[in-house]
Amino acid sequence: MKGIRDLALAGRRVFLRVDFNVPFEEGKVTDATRIAETLPTVRMAVDARARVICASHLGKPKGKPSARLSLAPVAAEFASLLGRPVRFAGDCVGPEVESLSAALQPGDVLLLENLRFHAGEEANDPEFARRLAALADVYVDDAFGAAHRAHASVVGVPAILRERAAGLLLEKEVAALSRLLNPERPFAAILGGAKISGKIDTLRTLAESADALLIGGGMANHFVRAIGLNVGRSLLEEDKVPLAREILDTCKREGKTIAIPSDFVVAKSPDDGAHARTVGIGSIPPDQMALDVGQKTLEQFERLLEPARTIFWNGPMGVFEKPPFDRGTRALAMLLAESEAFTVVGGGESVAAANLAGVADRFGHVSTGGGASLEYLTNKTLPGIEALEG
């Protein structure tokens, strides 16, 4: 696929798909990582005297306008980080937006309103894609976090605007994650997070491709149940326990190392940190929940990760937003930051944990897309990448 450097941009209107799906609190952006990561692409287009039309989704408005999910506050944050004015359109299609697009001067930047305010975005409706494409001359995708979605702005618009290319962030993401497809070995993968749903295919893939698979977070509860032990009131999708058994069997058959926690930090709820205590894997009380991994597990993980030359991490080890259940995730982030391996962190929560630990800048690569990074590892491509090829 072409990169933005391959396009003639001067004076042309560039439809730039970005991923500004950022967290909010009280109308203000609380983590601007995704905005900051795409600034090099925006600046390159601006410096080339392009007329830049940025488009993104935010949250899940289900095809209807929502004041709570407007990108207007994002436009202000974007302008502040970019260091230049950013115009904001109250919609992403229609006569008003077309006028704003036509009026842009070289070097101007426009941000459209939330794409998902229209049902046609997620449905990849051809007419909605046509209306978006009519705003611009060329297409650039820098939204890796949305590249696994076959939506109108991801696959529909580039099918119409035949001059299309990847932005600098998308190029960087693909280059880093491609190193995991043919990794320097030993290759270790760490999967955590609250649920096993959404990571089934990735679990199967990593059980076969990784030399060591380390399991933490709520996902680990399924493996504990799969070996016949109780998990108390811990988060559990009972119908996914057979999958955990399948993964254990696959690793055994393939001669791969798989590690599940040997001890847990438990309490009656995530708000009961004052009564948190550590118990062994077979001693989770029936009225309590596993909310973090224990010290013995961290020591075990450290031993297994020490020889690794490539490490992929997705998902926290516990309820890291609630001390003291953040200790395991923070300790893992510090451990990986000190590793000499090529380390890749994928996923919003993992990235947030790395930021909280103050070590995000010490990883080989920090991915802006959790679901996208998992799907890329599983399928070795994504709809948004395929849309730019040829």
Residues 142 and 57 in one domain: yes
Question: Residue 321 and residue 25: Cα distance in Å, rounded?
Answer: 15
Please give the residue range of the domain that contains residue 55. Answer: 4-171
Residue 165 and residue 188 in one domain: no
Which residue reads 């709809």 in tokens? 383
Domain-terminating residue out of 115, 139, 171: 171
CATH of the domain at 112: 3.40.50.1260
Which phi and psi angles does 381 have, rounded to 5°?
Answer: -165, 175
Q: Are the C-beta atoms of 347 and 193 separated by less than 8 Å?
A: yes
Whether 162 is in a domain gets the answer yes
What region, left, alpha or beta, does residue 63 occupy, with left being phi > 0 and alpha being psi -120 to 50 degrees? left
| pLDDT for position 350 | 81
- In the chain, the number of structural domains is 2
Sign of the C-alpha dihedral computed for residues 135, 71, 314 and 215 taken in this order: negative
In this prediction, residue 274 carries a pLDDT of 97
Q: Give which of 199, 144, 166, 163 is closest to 313, Cα–Cα.
A: 199
Residues of the chain with pLDDT under 50: none
Residue of 12, 34, 116, 164 with catalytic role: 34
8 A C-beta contact, residue 372 and residue 146: yes
Residues 10 and 14: their CA atoms lie apart, in Å, by 10
- Residue 234's pLDDT is what? 97
225 and 344 in one domain? yes
Query: Helix or strand or coil: residue 215?
Result: strand
Q: Which of 216, 346, 348, 384 is catalytic?
A: 348
Half-sphere exposure for 373 (CA within 13 Å, toward CB): 26
Cα 364 from chain centroid (whole Å): 16
d(C-alpha 135, C-alpha 140), whole Å: 13
Look at residue 230 in the predicted model and tell me its pLDDT: 97
- Going by C-alpha positions, the residue among 290, 289, 298 that lies closest to residue 327 is 298
177 in any annotated domain: no
pLDDT for 209 equals 95
Task: Give the pLDDT score at 152.
Answer: 98
> Do 69 and 216 share a structural domain?
no
pLDDT of 347 reads: 73
Residues 331 and 187 both lie in one domain? yes
Residue 185: active-site member: no
Domain boundary among 140, 171, 202: 171
Measured distance CA(73)–CA(227) in Å, rounded: 49
**Do residues 195 and 161 both lie within one domain?**
no
Burial class (CB in 10 A: 0-12, 13-18, 19+), 290: buried
Burial of 333 (0-12, 13-18, 19+ CB in 10 A): buried
> Does 296 qualify as catalytic in the annotation?
no
Annotated catalytic residue within 84, 87, 195, 245: 195
Instruction: Tell me if 116 is assigned to some domain.
Output: yes
Q: Give the global pTM.
A: 0.91
pLDDT at 204: 94
Q: Are residues 325 and 273 in contact, defined by beta-carbon separation less than 8 angstroms? A: yes
Catalytic residue flag (residue 348) = yes
Is 328 one of the catalytic residues?
A: no
> For residue 356, what pLDDT is reported?
80
Tell me the angle at which helices 348-356 and 327-337 cross, rounded to the nearest 10 degrees: 80
Strand order in the sheet with 164-166: 87-88, 109-111, 51-55, 13-17, 138-141, 164-166
Residues 90 and 206 in one domain: no
Do 210 and 276 fall into the same domain? yes
**Which residues lie below 8 Å from residue 389, measured CB to CB, with a gap of 6+?**
1
CA distance 206 to 209: 5
Q: How far apart are CA 181 and CA 380, in angstroms?
A: 7
